[in-house]
Amino acid sequence: MAEKPVPDASRRSEASRRAIHDAALALVAEVGYPRTTVEGIAARAGVGKQTIYRWWSSKADVLLEAFLDLGERAAREAGQRPDALPDTGDLAADLKLVLRATVDELHDPRFEAPARALAAEGLVNPRLGAEFVAGLLEPQLGLYARRLRSAQEAGAVRPDVDPRIALELFLSPLAQRWLQRTGPITYAYTDTLVDYALHGLAPR
Amino acid sequence: MAEKPVPDASRRSEASRRAIHDAALALVAEVGYPRTTVEGIAARAGVGKQTIYRWWSSKADVLLEAFLDLGERAAREAGQRPDALPDTGDLAADLKLVLRATVDELHDPRFEAPARALAAEGLVNPRLGAEFVAGLLEPQLGLYARRLRSAQEAGAVRPDVDPRIALELFLSPLAQRWLQRTGPITYAYTDTLVDYALHGLAPR
């Protein structure tokens, strides 16, 4: 028998990968992280356990990649580049645009259940928490830090501001409202966060 | 037999209450919220289960009160009134003082383990999450909102600012760093958050 040509194999393997991602996200949402297993993911995706271990070393690795992939798909659906924030020169407008897309994502049930299950597990499981912060959260925060540095070069942010702390003024409130359900998450809310963070609470 | 005078009974009941609080906080830190039971709390506190049910209707109620009591004790140890923030007229100084005391509390192991276990459970257990937000977090946030309104009356915060959103600019970053371990928690960090929140990131 002739071997299949590479593009077909690559497409097939892409389809398996996607099926495994979807199975992992669905399972962690349904039964939680502790009860999600590589065996369960394999069964739900209709692949052998060895297929998973060929590509990943643990369920945490599968979930991390599944989550990154989901985030990239969501960014593309929202018309955003997944690897950079918009930079039109208007910092407030760019941040508001991206945060509004994040509001949509946080209300998307595909994202909501697995993200919440993983965040909860990350609080009590420091190794998983560290993997998700390093693999998922920090790269996202890095995009905001880069956008703020570009604004510093353009004179729209004070030169003495530390971008890694500054970004928390508008991102952490949104994260906490979502995680702990401490208030509604709306476009008006994220717009207000951007305005307060840029212009401060004190009179000018 | 003569009945014991009321003050003694009241002292004894205060001691039982404290023992039950301590047992509940220790258990949830050691085995997590789901495996903490009213029976386990009673056994550890050396009281009967009925003593607990005389005062509380569920383990969530015990924990909520235990946590409130811990927070009030910590505030008193830090020389603060538990029911109001300092108001010297210098908003930045007052906020920095209170946030530095919060940094100390977040580094206190008596607080750390039960707070983390409860926060994690609150993410996946909406009823518990809502009880802790309403019973513990919102009353705390209310103190900051009141301090910000006083600053508005004194002209130190813009009149159009919503205090309930404004307080998130410096409190949520601290909460997220602590919950998700996304960065170090120091006095320099919380001082910086207050400065950025009050004066904004944009040049003045």
Residue of B nearest to A174 (CA): B172
Task: Please give the residue that has the higher pLDDT: either B163 or A136.
Answer: B163
SS (H, E, C) A131-183: HHHHHHHHHHHHHHHHHHHHHHHCCCCCCCCCHHHHCHHHHHHHHHHHHHCCC
- Alpha-carbon distance of A194 to A175, in angstroms, equals 14
Grade residue B97 by pLDDT with cuts at 50, 70 and 90. very high
| Closest partner CB to B196 (pick from A133, A166, A176) | A166
Task: Please give the residue that has the higher pLDDT: either B130 or B186.
Answer: B186
Q: Residue A64: what pLDDT?
A: 85
Task: Please give the residue that has the higher pLDDT: either B2 or A48.
Answer: A48
Instruction: Using the predicted structure, report yes or no on whether residue B1 has a pLDDT greater than 50.
Output: no
Chain A residues touching residue B161 (CB < 8 angstroms): 196, 201
Segment B10-38 shows an average pLDDT of 89
Residue B148's Cβ-side half-sphere holds a number of Cα atoms within 13 Å equal to 27
Segment B34-61 shows an average pLDDT of 92
Instruction: Using the predicted structure, report yes or no on whether residue B65 has a pLDDT greater than 70.
Output: yes
- pLDDT, tens digit (0-9, with 9 covering 90-100), for A13-69: 888 899 999 999 999 988 888 899 999 999 999 999 999 999 998 888 898 889 888
- pLDDT, tens digit (0-9, with 9 covering 90-100), for A64-111: 889 888 888 877 887 777 788 999 999 999 999 999 999 998 998 888
Q: How far is A156 from chain B (nearest CA, A)?
A: 6
Q: Residue B6: what pLDDT?
A: 53
Q: Which ipTM value was assigned to this complex?
A: 0.87
If we measure between CA atoms, which residue out of A118, A145, A7 comes closest to residue A60? A118
Q: Residue B14: what pLDDT?
A: 84
- pLDDT, tens digit (0-9, with 9 covering 90-100), for B189-200: 999 999 999 999
Q: How far is A128 from chain B (nearest CA, A)?
A: 11
Chain B residues touching residue A156 (CB < 8 angstroms): 202-203
Encoded tokens for B186: 């120091």
Chain A residues touching residue B176 (CB < 8 angstroms): 168, 172, 175-176
Q: Which of A54-68, A181-195, B36-50, B141-155 has the lowest mean pLDDT?
A: A54-68
Structural domains present in chain A: 59-199 (1.10.357.10)
Chain A residues touching residue B134 (CB < 8 angstroms): none
Would you tell me how many other CB atoms lie within 10 Å of the CB of residue A71? 17
| Closest partner CB to B175 (pick from A170, A176, A193) | A176
